[in-house]
Amino acid sequence: MFRLVLLLLGVDYLRRRSRALRWIGVLFFAAGSALIFDALDGVVHFPLEVFAWMMLVEGLATLSIVTIGVGGQRLVRAVKGGTFTLTAVLVLFFDQHVGNFWLSMLFGTLFLADGLLQSVAAYVVRYPRWPLAFAGGLFQILIAIIFYQPYPTHYRGTLPYALGLGLVFTGWNLLLLAMRARSMTSQMRMEEILASPQEKRELWHRRKRTPAPQWDGPPTADEPALTVHVWTPSGSSRAPARRHPVIDRYIAAVDRNGVISTGHAALESPEGIYISLYPAVEIDRSPDAFATLLRATHDNDVAGIFQPSYAHESQAWCPSTVKVRIRNYSPEQLATFWQEYRTDTTYNLTHRNCSSSVALALEAALEGRIGRLTGGDDAGWWTFLRLWMTPELWVAAQLRKRAQTMAWTPGLVLDYARAVSMLADPRPFGWFKMATVALRRMRSSRRAWREAADQAAPGVAPPGTGAQ
């Protein structure tokens, strides 16, 4: 998640705060390690009830906005909100022994499922550096085994273990980012390196600090915006597709003739850039040949071609199924990325495909944009906190992690673009705005249910008719 935050805030933000990030990482790592060691003897001094109440509030808040999400956002929010709420309920309202046992089963199952998925995907796809991802999956399986077995605390240390692991992983990631930032200090502006402390304070105060713009919805049709086009697998199949929930949304759809459709993704900017990578010769996607194409090895590399424009592609095929539009992007950064990326037309079904091309281009166009919303080049810590509290950040981070450990698909690109669009084009009030929308929808649904019940009640005439 921190990698995504710093990607959106920009490299300058990371450079200026490398020392603070390093100390925060050390603090998180030390706190997590202390919490784990504290629970080894089964006697926990950490105030679990206070933490459980915080988790309950977070879980209920997440569940309250599940219905206003789209696509994979609903699933990710539901998993997060349900896990947090169930954990808090087990700690607060159940017998300690029973609650700890079921908490162990819950956390163990989550680690086991994620570890198995990551290991199997890494072994099947074989993308670059897949052994590291495979080892990471095995490590998660080992953690699941530790949660499942009672030794040494007979499940009394389950929650401290889980919280401690979360703090340790967070601190480790922050330390890695801080070390990387330290290696980039030689590229900082000379005026900041050579200035005296008083000059640095004056330089900081001279930076413009204007309120960040906020938008109450996606861009209008006549508003210039970066557009992500997605042809979903089921929506772009030539014949009616067979229904396979989740699979036909994120992986591939199979039509009634047995032909596999993986969908497509493209990116278009108002400046005339159109990024749509496609194999120069149609790949055989029959079920017998499809399994061998999943590996991201060089023997599956084929010649590719970049489509000239959306008008040409939609006319030759069909219009895109869904469009995601983003206002706040950098045309210059996108043009620089495109100038270099277009020199290589290699296509690989899982490693370098249409979806991965769009994801890379989207991140290049959005890098550092949130840090520049304030009108200056220093976003401040409040921007970091505001971004951290936005629920779409967690959704985008989970989708990005899953795509990088497996493969980018049109379905993942669609949900990822939707999530980062709400981060790059911030909406007012964050949680409160979405909670208000969710409550409004709940009231509307309840009102419709009451009206339907009144109409179905015996002796009540339907509206618009007279009594017989």
pLDDT tens string 213-226: 666 667 877 888 99
- CB neighbour burial string for 321-336, b if at least 16 within 10 angstroms, e if fewer: bbbbbbbbbbeebbee
pTM: 0.75
Place of tokens 């030759």: 316
Element (H, E) at 410: helix 410-424
For residue 247, how many other CB atoms are within 10 A of its CB?
Answer: 15
Report the distance separating Cα 423 and Cα 391, nearest Å.
9
In terms of pLDDT, which residue wins out, 441 or 15? 15
Q: What mean pLDDT comes out for the span 241-269?
A: 73
| pLDDT tens digits, one per residue of 299-340 | 777 889 999 999 999 898 888 989 999 998 999 999 999 999
**Per-residue confidence (pLDDT) for residue 52, from 0 to 100:** 82
Q: What angle do CA 85, 399, 276 make, to 5 degrees?
A: 155
The structural domains of the chain, with segments of one domain joined by +, span: 8-184, 226-367+391-424
Q: Could you give the 3-state DSSP secondary structure of residue 225?
A: coil
Nearest Cα residue to 278 out of 358, 207, 333, 190: 358
Average pLDDT along the chain: 77
